[in-house]
Structure 1
Amino acid sequence: MEKDIAQKLLGLFFKAPLVHALLVFEDNEFFGVVFKRDIELGMREGNFELYENINTIRVDELSSMLFANQATSTTVIPVIDKVGNLVKIMTYEEYESHFHFDRYIANFSVSPVLDNLDHPVVVTNHFKRILYMNNLAMETAGKDYLGWNVNSLLKQFDIEIAGEKMIVTKDDKVFHLHIHYSLAENFSYHVYQFLPVN
């Protein structure tokens, strides 16, 4: 029995009292959920094993099974990996951006200044789902990757690490890739700047 893990996981529900389950992610992708009742039952019976208690749920059923009441902007959801480590406490806004992307992206806006920057810019949520690409990013990529994992976009480039710099190349275009982390009030972002190498 993984008693220490079970106790640690139950403690996460004190931070997120409006949820019935913890989200499980693997490599920035949704893997499943672990229900609070299953953790409690496993502890009572003395046989809790985390991996055996990860349930796969269709995304369209997730909200109805995850939240105890109507979720609000202050609702938070713990995210763990498959071995029980806390990845992050996800805000409801982040949850919406990942699991209800079409609904979220309809209200997402970035300053029009970014659209016409002289270099490609891509903005992702914490789990690397692309929320925004400026005009040059779409032109360089050759298509719109909104809603995709940023790794799908980066696979188009030859990537080379040179000291502390990441150099990415596509066709005859060479860029220094700078990845920045940004934390807003209820949201964490990654900003990918492709700065041209002259």
Structure 2
Amino acid sequence: MEIELAQKLLSFFFKAPLVNALLVFEDNEYFGVVFKRDIEMGLREGNFQLFENISTIRAEELTTVLFAQQVSSGTVIPVIDKVGNLNKIISYEEFESHFHFDRFIADFSVAPVIDSLDTPIMVTNHFKRILYMNRGAYEIAEKDFTGWNISSLLKQFEIEISGDKMLVTAGEMTYQLHIHFAMAENFSYHVYQFIPV
């Protein structure tokens, strides 16, 4: 029985009162949901097992089952891992960027100055899904990876850790990869910058 865990999970709903469930992610990929009603029932019966209460809901159906009320810009959703650790409380905008990517990306823009930089730059959401690639990033990737997980792109390169530096070799070019974290009002980003060495 994981009664203490159930109590901890239930406390996440105080921070996110408009949701019916917690999102469960494994390695930055959607795994399922844990419904509030299942946690409450497990507490009442004194028999709660997290893994047994993870429901697999198709991503297309999530919006209809996840939210208790009409969502607003202030709606937040707790994201946990498979053992119940809080990964992050994401905004509705971040939820949209992952689960309704095509709808989100239509309105996503980055300043034209970033696009014209010679340095390859990629921007991902919290779950490492690529939201934006500048011209230089397209050149080293040799195709459009927008919408893919960043690891899919990085797999095609030779990566070497040298001290505190990450060196990435693409073709005949070697880059030092810098990963920056950026936080907007309702959104967290990772910015991958490839600096020629």
Normalization by structure 1: what TM-score? 0.99
Where does structure 2 lack aligned partners over 5 or more consecutive residues? none
Report the equivalent of 1:85. 85
2:121 counterpart of 1:100:
no
Q: Identity percentage over the alignment?
A: 71
Where does structure 1 lack aligned partners over 5 or more consecutive residues? none
SS in 2 for 1:146: coil
Report the equivalent of 2:146. 146
2:118 counterpart of 1:118:
yes
Aligned-pair CA distance for 1:57: 0.6
SS in 2 for 1:39: helix
Residues in 2 aligned to 1:130 and 1:110: alpha-carbon distance in whole angstroms: 13
Q: RMSD over aligned Cα, in angstroms?
A: 0.5
Aligned-pair CA distance for 1:118: 1.2
Aligned-pair CA distance for 1:95: 0.4
Report the equivalent of 2:167. 167
Aligned-pair CA distance for 1:171: 1.3
Report the equivalent of 1:46. 46
Q: Give 4+ residue runs of structure 1 displaced > 4 Å after superposition.
A: none
Tell me the alpha carbon deviations over residues 44-83 of structure 1, each in whole angstroms, 9 at most, x when there is no partner.
1111000000000111100000000111110000000000
Report the equivalent of 2:128. 128
SS in 2 for 1:5: helix
Tell me the alpha carbon deviations over residues 86-107 of structure 1, each in whole angstroms, 9 at most, x when there is no partner.
0000000000000000000000
SS in 2 for 1:82: coil
Report the equivalent of 1:63. 63
Report the equivalent of 2:7. 7
Instruction: Tell me, yes or no, if the aligned pair for 2:157 and 2:169 is still in contact at 8 Å.
Output: yes
Residues in 1 aligned to 2:174 and 2:55: alpha-carbon distance in whole angstroms: 44
Instruction: Tell me, yes or no, if the aligned pair for 2:118 and 2:135 is still in contact at 8 Å.
Output: no
SS in 2 for 1:89: strand
SS in 1 for 2:186: coil
Instruction: Tell me, yes or no, if the aligned pair for 2:115 and 2:135 is still in contact at 8 Å.
Output: yes
SS in 2 for 1:97: helix
Report the equivalent of 1:17. 17
Residues in 1 aligned to 2:135 and 2:118: alpha-carbon distance in whole angstroms: 9
Report the equivalent of 1:188. 188
Residues in 1 aligned to 2:103 and 2:143: alpha-carbon distance in whole angstroms: 21
Residues in 1 aligned to 2:138 and 2:151: alpha-carbon distance in whole angstroms: 15
